[in-house]
Structure 1
Amino acid sequence: MQASGGKMTVIQRVVAPAQHNGPFNPNAAKPNNEGDDLPDMENPAYGGTHTNNTGLSGGRDGIHNAAYGSGVGNTRPDDWAELLRLSNNNNPWRQLHLLNDNLGGRGLHTNLVPGSASFNGQHLGGAETPVKNWAGSAEGDVDEDRAADYEVTANYNNPDIISNYIIENFHDVDNFAGTIEERTDEEMEEGDPELVREDVYDQQRDALKDEHEDWISDYVSDTFASSFTCTAKFYERDDDGDVYSTNQQNVTVSYQ
């Protein structure tokens, strides 16, 4: 979606190809002696929600099997229906897990963030797949010799935004639409319909379109994460029974 004056640059950014600076390397040097026990596998942990019920962080320590969680289901951010309506149902985005469902992550508001297919693919390739491949088999068997700590933090554009701003702004847009309809009807009654259509009606429709585009841009800017910061630490038991770990690794997934 394109508009003059750079208004929709945030939309253009989140439909552009994403990138990561990884991937994680589970086979990196493991200089840290952790004794003779792998870490216990903890329950998934989440960091709460941001604007419009989107997740802040999700992670799990000591992962050593597939530990399936749950899919997205019908979980959506607040006002998602309004985004669809104002986008004419042309919505290229999807819900993304912070902690992958194959690592135990659940389809909860605290663990889901809207993003593009490209962003999802970069997250998968740069962070999720290396952890899944290291931390256990697809059949769910416990790996007695490997484990991983893994966490994903969503970084937002407006960390302190008031959560009901979007809802209030949406009502303002609808009120504006009603005002345009009333003004157009009045002009049609008082003047030449054809002149009104050319000189007033179309201009007012353009103004309403601008308001809708502003709302979509604000919504995406405030509701979508601009990047994910992913951290991981990989553990392995050697032939002597000692457990060693990598230093913490970091991968950032972002829109270009």
Structure 2
Amino acid sequence: MPAWKPHPMSESWRLALPVSLSILMFLSACATLPPDGPSQGEARIVERIDRLEGALLEHCGFDDVRSRAGLAAIGELRSRVQTLQEQVVARDQDPERVDCPAPLTTDTANDKLVLGRAEWIGLPTLGSYFKARLDTGANTSSLSADEITPFERDGEDWVRFRLSLSDRDAVVPGIRDREIEARVVRRVRILQASGSDSRPVIALPMTLGTLEQTVEFTLNDRAHLSYPVLLGRRFLMDQAVVDVSRSYTFARPEFPGGETADEAADDQHDDDLLEP
């Protein structure tokens, strides 16, 4: 009786089966591997696919392998690689992803000057520099004054006053005892818990960095506050924005009898914690 011999097709299946199982195990592991990036991850996966396909071709004839599960598994693997690559591209092109705007690093934003929460200003007609707090919650700017006396000149309302300054206020020394006169451009009524108060408003030329313009100031006593000058939103409107992370972005202006701009650093301590 002739000895039994395995059929050639059975031998091919026996050789292809472990390789096919290896491919299926690789597919399962591939789904859990972290992405290495579109280029590196794809290259590594394709390299492993080629090695597995070469192993099948080494043990089986090419025509036999094409009809077996091993080559079908390789085709499925290639399909999964393509799907993963498309998902990576779609993620990178996600239209709903919003990038945060870069912080302001220059002195202009949308053609407006970027100012800090506190700045040096100059009042040329008074001949002095002052520290000013920028407050977008206030409508009109304010200048610290006391001994305010109204009078009339040429049929117009004027006021005579002195600046109300504390010892810590950095100004040109000669301005402290000077009597100042200015025309009243209007009056504003301030509502407070204790009642209403009518304050005169005067207009003074002011410089702040590259800005030079006439600004309206209400006159009221700010000696108990940290800044003798407050700049409100009527001044800021259409020409400047405030970056509260910055302060003293421009050099202190210089006036006769005062200190130089280089000496301003000693007076630039942060007084925001002292003023509500």
TM-score by shorter chain over 0.5: no
**Structure having the larger proportion of residues in strand:** 2
Normalising to structure 2: TM-score of the pair? 0.19
Q: Which structure is higher in RCO with an 8 Å CA cutoff and minimum separation 6?
A: 1
Q: TM-score, normalised by structure 1?
A: 0.20
Point out the structure with the larger helix share: 1
Instruction: Answer with 1 or 2: which has the greater Rg.
Output: 2
